[in-house]
Amino acid sequence: MEPNLLTNKSALVTGAAQGIGLAIATALAKRGASVGIVDLQGAEVAAASLSQQFPEQTFTGYELDVRDAEAVTAAVASFVEASGAIDILVNNAGTAARVGIDEITAEQWQRDLDTNLGGTFNFIKAAVHPHMLHAGTGSIVNISSISGINGGAVSDGEAGARSGPAYAASKGGIIALTKWVAKEYGRQGIRCNSVAPGPVESALTAGQAYDTSNQALDRMGTPAEIAEAVAYLASDGAAFTTGQILRIDGGAVMS
Protein backbone atom coordinates (compact mmCIF):
# COMPACT_ATOMS: atom_id res chain seq x y z
CA MET A 1 0.00 0.00 0.00
CA GLU A 2 1.27 3.46 -0.84
CA PRO A 3 2.31 5.41 2.27
CA ASN A 4 -0.06 8.33 1.58
CA LEU A 5 -3.14 6.12 1.42
CA LEU A 6 -5.43 5.95 4.46
CA THR A 7 -7.32 2.74 3.76
CA ASN A 8 -8.92 1.30 6.91
CA LYS A 9 -8.00 4.42 8.90
CA SER A 10 -10.51 6.32 11.04
CA ALA A 11 -10.27 10.11 11.23
CA LEU A 12 -12.11 12.71 13.27
CA VAL A 13 -12.18 16.26 11.85
CA THR A 14 -13.55 19.29 13.71
CA GLY A 15 -15.20 22.26 12.00
CA ALA A 16 -15.79 19.96 9.06
CA ALA A 17 -19.29 20.81 7.85
CA GLN A 18 -17.98 23.39 5.38
CA GLY A 19 -14.92 25.23 4.08
CA ILE A 20 -11.43 24.02 4.94
CA GLY A 21 -12.75 21.37 7.33
CA LEU A 22 -15.01 19.78 4.72
CA ALA A 23 -12.16 19.88 2.20
CA ILE A 24 -9.97 18.05 4.73
CA ALA A 25 -12.62 15.43 5.40
CA THR A 26 -13.03 14.91 1.65
CA ALA A 27 -9.29 14.60 1.07
CA LEU A 28 -9.01 11.98 3.81
CA ALA A 29 -12.01 10.11 2.39
CA LYS A 30 -10.49 10.10 -1.09
CA ARG A 31 -7.50 8.28 0.39
CA GLY A 32 -9.72 5.63 1.94
CA ALA A 33 -10.41 6.87 5.46
CA SER A 34 -13.71 6.71 7.29
CA VAL A 35 -14.39 10.11 8.83
CA GLY A 36 -16.24 11.58 11.77
CA ILE A 37 -17.52 15.10 11.04
CA VAL A 38 -17.67 17.49 14.02
CA ASP A 39 -19.33 20.91 13.85
CA LEU A 40 -21.81 23.12 15.65
CA GLN A 41 -24.36 22.42 12.92
CA GLY A 42 -24.48 20.74 9.53
CA ALA A 43 -22.26 17.83 10.57
CA GLU A 44 -24.88 15.17 9.87
CA VAL A 45 -25.67 16.66 6.45
CA ALA A 46 -21.98 16.73 5.52
CA ALA A 47 -21.55 13.13 6.70
CA ALA A 48 -24.51 12.01 4.61
CA SER A 49 -23.09 13.76 1.54
CA LEU A 50 -19.71 12.06 1.96
CA SER A 51 -21.46 8.71 2.42
CA GLN A 52 -23.01 9.13 -1.02
CA GLN A 53 -19.66 9.99 -2.58
CA PHE A 54 -17.76 7.18 -0.83
CA PRO A 55 -20.30 4.38 -0.16
CA GLU A 56 -17.68 1.84 0.94
CA GLN A 57 -16.62 3.98 3.92
CA THR A 58 -18.38 5.14 7.06
CA PHE A 59 -19.15 8.79 7.88
CA THR A 60 -20.75 10.03 11.07
CA GLY A 61 -21.80 13.53 12.12
CA TYR A 62 -21.33 14.91 15.63
CA GLU A 63 -22.99 18.25 16.31
CA LEU A 64 -21.40 19.86 19.36
CA ASP A 65 -19.49 22.85 20.68
CA VAL A 66 -15.76 22.09 20.84
CA ARG A 67 -15.58 24.25 23.98
CA ASP A 68 -17.71 21.68 25.83
CA ALA A 69 -15.15 19.22 27.24
CA GLU A 70 -17.76 16.68 28.34
CA ALA A 71 -19.43 16.65 24.93
CA VAL A 72 -16.04 16.29 23.26
CA THR A 73 -15.05 13.33 25.45
CA ALA A 74 -18.39 11.64 24.76
CA ALA A 75 -18.12 12.19 21.01
CA VAL A 76 -14.59 10.77 20.84
CA ALA A 77 -15.63 7.73 22.87
CA SER A 78 -18.65 7.20 20.61
CA PHE A 79 -16.50 7.53 17.49
CA VAL A 80 -13.96 4.99 18.78
CA GLU A 81 -16.72 2.57 19.78
CA ALA A 82 -18.26 2.80 16.30
CA SER A 83 -15.06 2.71 14.25
CA GLY A 84 -12.76 0.71 16.50
CA ALA A 85 -10.06 3.38 16.70
CA ILE A 86 -9.16 7.02 16.24
CA ASP A 87 -6.13 6.88 13.97
CA ILE A 88 -6.23 10.54 12.90
CA LEU A 89 -7.44 13.69 14.64
CA VAL A 90 -7.64 17.00 12.79
CA ASN A 91 -8.40 20.08 14.88
CA ASN A 92 -9.78 22.68 12.49
CA ALA A 93 -12.74 24.35 14.27
CA GLY A 94 -12.19 28.05 14.79
CA THR A 95 -13.58 31.55 15.18
CA ALA A 96 -12.08 34.97 14.47
CA ALA A 97 -13.02 38.34 15.93
CA ARG A 98 -11.69 40.88 13.40
CA VAL A 99 -11.35 43.86 15.72
CA GLY A 100 -8.42 45.57 17.38
CA ILE A 101 -7.43 45.31 21.02
CA ASP A 102 -9.20 48.60 21.72
CA GLU A 103 -12.52 47.23 20.47
CA ILE A 104 -12.47 43.54 21.29
CA THR A 105 -14.81 42.55 24.09
CA ALA A 106 -14.03 40.10 26.86
CA GLU A 107 -16.59 37.75 25.33
CA GLN A 108 -14.95 37.88 21.88
CA TRP A 109 -11.50 37.36 23.38
CA GLN A 110 -12.65 34.34 25.39
CA ARG A 111 -14.64 32.87 22.50
CA ASP A 112 -11.63 32.77 20.17
CA LEU A 113 -9.30 31.39 22.84
CA ASP A 114 -11.79 28.79 24.05
CA THR A 115 -12.79 27.67 20.55
CA ASN A 116 -9.46 27.72 18.74
CA LEU A 117 -7.02 26.75 21.48
CA GLY A 118 -9.41 25.28 24.06
CA GLY A 119 -11.23 23.14 21.51
CA THR A 120 -7.94 21.81 20.18
CA PHE A 121 -6.85 20.96 23.73
CA ASN A 122 -10.19 19.26 24.51
CA PHE A 123 -9.99 16.96 21.50
CA ILE A 124 -6.33 16.12 21.97
CA LYS A 125 -6.93 15.18 25.60
CA ALA A 126 -9.97 13.09 24.75
CA ALA A 127 -8.25 11.31 21.85
CA VAL A 128 -4.87 10.64 23.45
CA HIS A 129 -6.21 9.44 26.82
CA PRO A 130 -6.88 6.59 26.61
CA HIS A 131 -7.49 5.81 22.96
CA MET A 132 -4.29 6.66 21.05
CA LEU A 133 -2.07 5.67 23.97
CA HIS A 134 -3.84 2.31 24.18
CA ALA A 135 -3.37 1.75 20.45
CA GLY A 136 0.25 2.90 20.53
CA THR A 137 -0.25 5.02 17.43
CA GLY A 138 -1.98 8.14 16.17
CA SER A 139 -1.54 11.22 14.00
CA ILE A 140 -2.80 14.62 15.17
CA VAL A 141 -2.89 17.61 12.83
CA ASN A 142 -3.80 21.01 14.26
CA ILE A 143 -4.82 23.88 12.00
CA SER A 144 -3.01 27.00 13.20
CA SER A 145 -2.30 30.06 11.02
CA ILE A 146 0.54 32.29 9.92
CA SER A 147 -1.16 34.80 12.24
CA GLY A 148 0.17 32.67 15.07
CA ILE A 149 3.68 33.09 13.62
CA ASN A 150 3.77 36.73 12.49
CA GLY A 151 0.91 38.22 14.52
CA GLY A 152 -1.41 38.63 11.55
CA ALA A 153 -1.80 41.26 8.88
CA VAL A 154 -0.73 44.85 9.54
CA SER A 155 -3.70 47.14 10.13
CA ASP A 156 -4.19 50.07 7.76
CA GLY A 157 -6.68 51.70 10.08
CA GLU A 158 -9.54 49.55 8.81
CA ALA A 159 -10.60 46.21 10.24
CA GLY A 160 -10.30 44.70 6.75
CA ALA A 161 -8.60 41.34 6.62
CA ARG A 162 -6.76 41.88 9.87
CA SER A 163 -6.93 39.01 12.34
CA GLY A 164 -7.71 40.13 15.87
CA PRO A 165 -5.46 39.71 18.92
CA ALA A 166 -7.40 36.75 20.31
CA TYR A 167 -7.17 34.90 16.99
CA ALA A 168 -3.43 35.50 16.70
CA ALA A 169 -2.83 34.55 20.33
CA SER A 170 -4.91 31.38 20.07
CA LYS A 171 -3.18 30.26 16.87
CA GLY A 172 0.22 30.91 18.42
CA GLY A 173 -0.91 28.81 21.36
CA ILE A 174 -1.88 25.98 19.01
CA ILE A 175 1.65 26.01 17.58
CA ALA A 176 3.18 25.75 21.06
CA LEU A 177 0.70 23.02 22.06
CA THR A 178 1.51 21.08 18.89
CA LYS A 179 5.20 21.00 19.80
CA TRP A 180 4.47 20.04 23.41
CA VAL A 181 2.27 17.10 22.39
CA ALA A 182 4.86 15.96 19.83
CA LYS A 183 7.59 15.91 22.48
CA GLU A 184 5.42 14.32 25.15
CA TYR A 185 3.95 11.45 23.15
CA GLY A 186 6.39 10.70 20.32
CA ARG A 187 7.85 7.71 22.15
CA GLN A 188 4.33 6.33 22.54
CA GLY A 189 3.85 6.32 18.75
CA ILE A 190 1.77 9.50 18.53
CA ARG A 191 2.75 12.22 16.05
CA CYS A 192 1.50 15.80 16.25
CA ASN A 193 1.97 18.43 13.55
CA SER A 194 0.33 21.67 12.48
CA VAL A 195 -0.66 23.24 9.17
CA ALA A 196 -0.46 27.04 9.21
CA PRO A 197 -2.50 28.50 6.34
CA GLY A 198 -2.05 31.95 4.91
CA PRO A 199 -5.09 33.70 3.37
CA VAL A 200 -7.51 31.07 2.06
CA GLU A 201 -10.81 31.49 0.25
CA SER A 202 -13.36 30.20 2.77
CA ALA A 203 -16.40 31.19 4.80
CA LEU A 204 -14.09 32.67 7.43
CA THR A 205 -12.53 35.06 4.91
CA ALA A 206 -15.63 35.85 2.83
CA GLY A 207 -15.98 39.57 2.22
CA GLN A 208 -12.46 40.34 3.43
CA ALA A 209 -9.94 42.20 1.24
CA TYR A 210 -6.57 40.47 1.51
CA ASP A 211 -3.42 42.04 0.09
CA THR A 212 -1.37 39.14 -1.26
CA SER A 213 1.18 41.27 -3.10
CA ASN A 214 3.83 40.50 -0.46
CA GLN A 215 3.60 36.78 -1.21
CA ALA A 216 5.76 34.91 -3.69
CA LEU A 217 2.50 33.45 -5.05
CA ASP A 218 0.22 36.45 -5.42
CA ARG A 219 -3.19 34.89 -4.78
CA MET A 220 -5.43 33.41 -2.13
CA GLY A 221 -5.09 29.73 -1.32
CA THR A 222 -7.91 27.20 -1.60
CA PRO A 223 -9.35 24.83 1.00
CA ALA A 224 -8.24 21.89 -1.16
CA GLU A 225 -4.62 23.04 -0.98
CA ILE A 226 -4.76 23.09 2.82
CA ALA A 227 -6.44 19.69 2.80
CA GLU A 228 -3.66 18.11 0.74
CA ALA A 229 -1.09 19.19 3.32
CA VAL A 230 -3.20 17.79 6.14
CA ALA A 231 -3.67 14.47 4.33
CA TYR A 232 0.09 14.13 3.93
CA LEU A 233 0.82 14.82 7.60
CA ALA A 234 -1.93 12.40 8.64
CA SER A 235 -0.52 9.59 6.53
CA ASP A 236 2.30 7.09 6.99
CA GLY A 237 4.16 9.06 4.33
CA ALA A 238 4.95 11.49 7.15
CA ALA A 239 5.89 8.76 9.63
CA PHE A 240 9.19 10.51 10.52
CA THR A 241 7.59 13.96 10.82
CA THR A 242 6.39 15.38 14.13
CA GLY A 243 6.37 18.72 15.93
CA GLN A 244 6.43 20.56 12.60
CA ILE A 245 4.54 23.66 11.49
CA LEU A 246 3.88 23.36 7.76
CA ARG A 247 3.14 26.79 6.30
CA ILE A 248 0.77 26.71 3.32
CA ASP A 249 0.79 30.42 2.63
CA GLY A 250 1.97 31.21 -0.89
CA GLY A 251 5.39 32.15 0.48
CA ALA A 252 4.11 34.88 2.83
CA VAL A 253 6.41 33.66 5.62
CA MET A 254 9.81 32.33 4.60
CA SER A 255 11.97 32.57 7.73
CA dist 50 and 32 (Å) reads 12
Q: Is 57 part of any domain?
A: yes
CATH assignment at residue 104: 3.40.50.720
DSSP assigned state of 243: S
Residue among 117, 124, 143, 249 nearest 195 (CA)? 143
Given a contact cutoff of 8 angstroms between Cβ atoms, the answer to whether 167 and 145 are in contact is yes
Domain that holds residue 159: 10-248
Q: Is 178 part of any domain?
A: yes
CA-only gyration radius of the chain, Å: 17
User: For every one of its 255 residues, what pLDDT tens digit does the chain have, with 9 covering 90 and above?
Assistant: 577 799 999 999 999 999 999 999 999 999 999 999 999 999 999 999 999 999 999 999 999 999 999 999 999 999 999 999 999 999 999 999 988 999 999 999 999 999 999 999 999 999 999 999 999 999 999 999 999 999 986 655 554 556 899 999 999 999 999 999 999 999 999 999 999 999 999 776 666 667 888 899 999 999 999 999 999 999 999 999 999 999 999 999 987
Q: Is 210 part of any domain?
A: yes
Global pTM value? 0.95
pLDDT at 108: 97
Q: Is 167 part of the annotated catalytic residue set?
A: yes
Alpha helices in the chain (DSSP H): 19-30, 43-53, 69-83, 106-112, 119-127, 133-135, 147-150, 165-185, 223-234
Q: Is 79 part of any domain?
A: yes
pLDDT at 1: 56
CA dist 2 and 237 (Å) reads 8
Residue among 172, 78, 82 nearest 127 (CA)? 78
**Set 167, 185, 210, 232: catalytic member:** 167
CA torsion, ordered 82, 84, 85, 89, to nearest 10 deg: -20
pLDDT at 111: 98
Number of domains the chain contains: 1
Q: Is 253 part of any domain?
A: no
Residues in the chain: 255
Query: Would you list the DSSP string of 55-113?
Result: TTS-EEEEE--TT-HHHHHHHHHHHHHHHS---EEEE---------TTT--HHHHHHHI
Q: Is 5 part of any domain?
A: no
Residue among 199, 183, 224 nearest 22 (CA)? 224
Q: Is 25 part of any domain?
A: yes
Q: Is 227 part of any domain?
A: yes
